[in-house]
Chain A
């Protein structure tokens, strides 16, 4: 081997030549081929890969939509209608992009739920979790700005309401809003910058996803038992086991996606967004897209402008410190008899918030939203810290293979005899 060349294990001469100089094939083989992965994943572990696929779909459809979109207030709405009517398969590309946003949030919400239920945010995966929260925030910003681009009524008024959130900031609020708008109302400069950022942010997301996956491949994946693999008997190589399992999930995902796109493409949208933006008239019932509803409900639950905005952003920001709020060393809720039920209650609570966010902000709906907001925060700030001290977890299995293979499974070599390094 010449000095400076990577020692490659590939036989194909072309692959080998490249690999010796830039070992990407070795890297792929290591990270996606032989990568040792806990053998007991359930289907919740599909959703990271699905999110990755979804991101690629959004970028691909978005690039092609941008080829026909005009980011100007006088052209935007009609350019989108032209995509729907005149551009070859424009309707398909736009509906995939539109419903792709919803699919992305469905997938990512399940992915986050998986992390919450199985304790994937706990040591040593705190940074991995925090990068995930960054991705979630970037996604929400991207989705919001994308929704503004068709320049329909909901686009315009959504943009107006969301940018006005920043006016709640004391002293500098109004200046910040003027800065965001590039004028004195949501108008052409706003649309232009939103388009620019909507095109930029997905690539920033790609960058953070890379870091998210890089961090994952240092700590390794969590698993439904929440205990660490203790040797090769607890893991299987990523390929073919999880490439195959992810493919099964992917097919189901595509079926749901195709159903939305081909049968109910506008089910998750608002009809009002097919009315061109009119700065003189607000639609009677203005609600954000479904994926923002829980946070929208929290915003409206607080009878104070600044308080509502802080609570809404706080509901997401609190996820950053979750690894330090939940001090229980047991990751998986399977072994936490109390936390499990309170976590499931929190999940139901989240769905109720989503429902309440889509209702008018009056009467019982506000009361429900307030109770749910209280529980949302109480779970993180009171229940988890308290349970970390008082809850008595169930005994953890000795190892993954012991738990999932009846009769103990094949033990291989000394690795199996290695004592548990931590509870």
Chain B
């Protein structure tokens, strides 16, 4: 019972203890406090983890794309993890255009060869690296900016035929997602 522990009924107990008892109290406070902090942390963990992608979300995290019916010069947009991915079948001129640029003059220097696995196929995430809009340029009627790639209508960023930033506020090139050719005409993104 708590009452038997009370040495006095004074509302403040701190002053009544000697230094030795004070040390014991400090120890108990430290142990109790640490226990509480670890406990709360252990409880907080599953709550925070529950906000990360669930298993069904992760299960849909890769997308297969059939390239066989994308003609040269054509581009298609596929959904991958809730975002558009641009798959572009580049013409030889476009490849040439992308490869003739002096890499060191670029804002985000990256050689075209490092951004594609097979030269005709450019695969990039269609999200502007400025503030997340989807750039125009997939349809032949879309404005593609001065570099023949994509033009972001939100704040005027322009990308070239390798998806690299050439003009405007965006800091980085369009992201190349992780993908692999599962056959000559099939890729799996993610």
Contact = CB atoms under 8 A, between A and B. Distances in A.
Contact of B2 (A36, A39, A85): A39
B68 interface: no
Interface string B1-39: 111011011111100000000000000000010000000
Given A241-B2, A405-B3, A236 B9 contact: yes
B46 A89 contact: yes
A232 B56 contact: no
Interface in B115-171: none
B10 to A, nearest CB: 7
**What is the size category of the interface that chain B forms with chain A?**
20 to 34
A63 B11 CA distance: 39
A241 B56 contact: no
Contacts of B11: 34, 36, 232, 237
Interface stretch (A123-131, A206-214, A242-250, A278-286): A242-250
Interface string A45-81: 0000000000000001000100110000000000000
A3 interface: no
Contacts of B56: 82, 86
Contact of A88 (B2, B6, B50): B50
B46 A93 contact: yes
Contacts of B1: 40, 42, 404
B35 to A, nearest CB: 10
B8 A88 contact: no
Contacts of A40: 1, 3
B46 A233 contact: no
Interface string B41-82: 000001101111011110000000000000000000000000
The number of chain A residues touching the other chain, given as a range, is 35 or more
B12 A237 contact: yes
B38 to A, nearest CB: 14
A82 B56 CA distance: 8
A34 B56 CA distance: 52
Interface in A105-150: none
A244 B47 CA distance: 27
B13 A92 contact: no
A247 B2 contact: no
A410 interface: yes
Contacts of A64: 47, 50-51
A88 B54 contact: yes
A175 B149 CA distance: 64
A90 interface: yes
Nearest to A34: B11
B71 to A, nearest CB: 39
24 contacts: A39-B2, A40-B3, A41-B2, A42-B1, A67-B50, A67-B51, A68-B50, A68-B54, A82-B56, A86-B57, A87-B50, A88-B49, A88-B54, A89-B50, A90-B54, A92-B46, A93-B47, A234-B9, A235-B9, A236-B2, A236-B9, A237-B13, A241-B5, A245-B2
